[in-house]
Structure formats: C-alpha cells, structure tokens
Amino acid sequence: MTDPTRIPVRRAAEDTPELWPVRRREVLARGRLFDYFSDTVEMPSGDTMRRDFIDHTSAVAVIALDDDEHMVVVHQYRHPVGFRLIEPPAGLLDQDGEGWLRAAQRELAEEAGLAADDWRLLVDMMTTPGGVNESIRIYLARDLRAAGAPDGFEPEGEEAHMDVLRVPVDDLLTGILSGRLQSPSLVAGVLAYAAARDKLDRLRPADSPWPARGQVERMRAAAPETPAD
C-alpha cells in the first residue's frame, strides 16, 4: 500500500510538451470535419504501441456575463450524445487565418447577437486527451452590447434550432454540481469563473499565447500519413 505522505509534493505543477517518435501514421478515415488516425509510437523503452485518435480543429467558447451575473447560454442539440445541452456560445477554429480571440468574438455575434467590450482569458483545456487532440480556449466576456451577425452568416444544422437564454451563474453552478449540466465547456468555464470571480485582475490577457495549439501542429507534422491497407 502507498503511504500518501510519501508521494512527492510539487508546487506550481504544469503540463509539459513531449512528443514520442511516431514511426507510422495510418489514415483510418476522413470525415467532414475531423480525420481519424492510427499512430505507431515508440516509447522511451524502445517498444512501440499503437494509438488511434481523432484529429480535431480545436475550438473557442465564451462565458458571456451581463451586469447582473446572468450568463448568456445556448440550448443546443448534440447528436453524438443524444442531448440538447446548455452551453456557452462556441465554435470551431476552422477559418483559415482567423485568430482565436476574433473567432470567439465572431461566435458570440453569430450565436447570441452580442459583442463585448471587456475580454479576458478564462481557461484553456484539452477536452479528451486520451483519444482526441482537441483543445479549447474559454474566454470571459463582459460589458455586453447588441451586435449584428457577421455578413453572410446563416444558421444551419443544430444552430438553426437552438435557443438563447440568460441564466444566473449561481444557478449554473448548482446545475453542474447536481449533474444536470454536463457540457465540458460550460462546466470548465463556469467553475473557472467561480474560482476567479473575486480576482479577475489576475486572469491572463485575451491575446495570451496558447502553447497547446503549437504542440498539436508539431504532432501533425510528426510523421507522414500512410493510407490504411
């Protein structure tokens, strides 16, 4: 049995980029939005292992708060899980050359018809690191005001059938802790905001570097793609 007092203590812990050599990368499938790869990876021992994963474009989300600490959310159908989830406005980083903050501002306008004058970086997270290389950057947006949708935007698919709501932050916290709210961007964003609510001046600037994005690009270039047999 492990004595918990003998486990090393580390302060200021952090994730560290590391990329084990990829000896072979097979393309298992090409999708409309994402691709499915299988990598043969060399471990530090010299042995190899095979890991399948989805190559994802990554995303941004917005915790948008009004002056009364109501959060603007969308109620959106998610087919893979068979739920209509309460989520923050969010979207994929699938437009070439678009910066992360600009993408978040666009999504807030498209999904909620809003702009914000105060933007801060709330939290970064990797949604499913065991099988998907998606990372998501979650912003805090305040000083909200009305804004028109970007030129040419027309809602389609799930977006054409979602509702936009305002919910008190404390009600969202209760819903998360009771298991009624399960969207990962909502859970991470609301809990991060609750933790930072009394010290918002310590949040990172909205244009802060995003190391995970660079590491994903390095991983994409780690090995040539080989079609599956």
Integer Cα distance of 36 and 30 in angstroms:
6
Distance CA 58, CA 71 (A): 23
Cα 126 to Cα 210: distance, rounded to the nearest angstrom: 12
Strands 22-30 and 48-55: unpaired
**Given 134, 159, 217, 225, the catalytic residue:** 159
* Residue 159 annotated to the active site: yes
Report the C-alpha gap between 50 and 75 in whole angstroms. 38
For residue 222, give the amino acid letter.
A
Task: Tell me the C-alpha distance between 188 and 88, whole Å.
Answer: 11
Give the residue numbers marked as catalytic.
159
